[in-house]
């Protein structure tokens, strides 16, 4: 791992940015050429992000925090935001299900996109039920998965045949040839 050597001014600017929730701030008295040179170095070394953010601010990257000996703050927002597929599945899992209009309103999708999502859910093996509500709207709902089939009892040894004398009882009459099958 390569360590960066920062000048005192560069380290002070990065420390000030870390104190300001990662937003890079320059002194008003700094010359534009000096500012441009610092921004170029910080961007080249990946210590800050470009100013493509909605607020137009440069922000410290995790490498920027590590360059001044700080631990980067945990990332929030994008990783915790649920996606639209999860939203649709949540709405469909409710007891009352969801109408096409509710799904369109929640996802901002067009009707044909919403119907395609329902079709994809159905084709992936999810049991999807369609029912009419009292207000004459059609609601879609994901049915609970059926329980797995019960496992059949099997003998422990591969190819073992059952002992017919034990199941028939002692002294019971066996069908003709049954005893021969059990002994061979």
Q: What is the pLDDT of residues 156-176, one digit of tens each?
A: 666 655 555 555 455 555 555
Query: What distance lies between CA 16 and its chain's CA centroid?
Result: 35
- Closest-CA residue to 69 (of 4, 1, 7, 9): 4
Residue 43 has pLDDT above 50, yes or no: yes
Residue-level pLDDT at 161:
59
Determine whether 140 is exposed, middle or buried from the number of CB atoms within 10 Å of its CB (0-12, 13-18, 19+).
buried
Pick the CATH number of 84-142 from 1.10.10.10, 2.40.50.1070, 2.40.128.20, 3.40.980.10: 1.10.10.10
- In tens, the pLDDT along 89-111 reads 889 998 899 999 999 998 999 99
Closest of 1, 10, 72 to residue 42, by C-alpha = 10
How does residue 178 score in pLDDT terms, banded at 50, 70 and 90? very low
The mean-pLDDT minimum among 41-50, 67-76, 121-130, 131-140 falls in: 67-76
What is the C-alpha to C-alpha distance for residues 116 and 100, in angstroms, rounded to an integer?
11
- Burial of 174 (C-beta count, 10 Å sphere; 0-12/13-18/19+): middle
Asked if residue 70 has pLDDT above 80, the reply is: yes
Share of the chain above pLDDT 70, in %: 71
Alpha helices per DSSP H over the chain: 8-19, 32-44, 62-67, 84-93, 100-107, 111-123, 164-168, 178-183
The pTM for the full model equals 0.41
Mean pLDDT of all residues belonging to the chain: 79
Residue 181: φ, ψ to 5° = -65, -40
The domain locations on the chain are 8-67, 84-142
């Amino acid at each position: 791992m390569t360590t960066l050597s920062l000048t005192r001014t560069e380290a002070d600017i990065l420390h000030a940015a870390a104190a300001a929730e990662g937003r890079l701030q320059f002194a008003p008295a700094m010359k534009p050429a000096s500012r441009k040179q610092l921004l170029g170095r910080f961007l080249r070394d990946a210590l800050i992000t470009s100013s493509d953010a909605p607020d137009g601010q440069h922000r410290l990257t995790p490498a920027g925090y590590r360059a001044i000996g700080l631990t980067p703050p945990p990332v929030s927002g994008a990783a915790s935001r649920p996606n639209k597929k999860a939203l649709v599945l949540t709405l469909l899992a409710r007891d009352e299900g969801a109408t096409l209009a509710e799904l369109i309103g929640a996802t901002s999708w067009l009707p044909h996109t919403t119907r395609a999502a329902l079709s994809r859910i159905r084709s992936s093996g999810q049991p999807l039920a369609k029912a009419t509500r009292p207000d004459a709207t059609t609601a879609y709902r994901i049915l609970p998965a059926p329980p797995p089939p019960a496992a059949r009892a099997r003998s422990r040894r591969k190819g073992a045949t059952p002992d017919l004398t034990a199941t028939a009882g002692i002294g019971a009459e066996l069908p003709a040839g049954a005893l021969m099958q059990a002994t061979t």
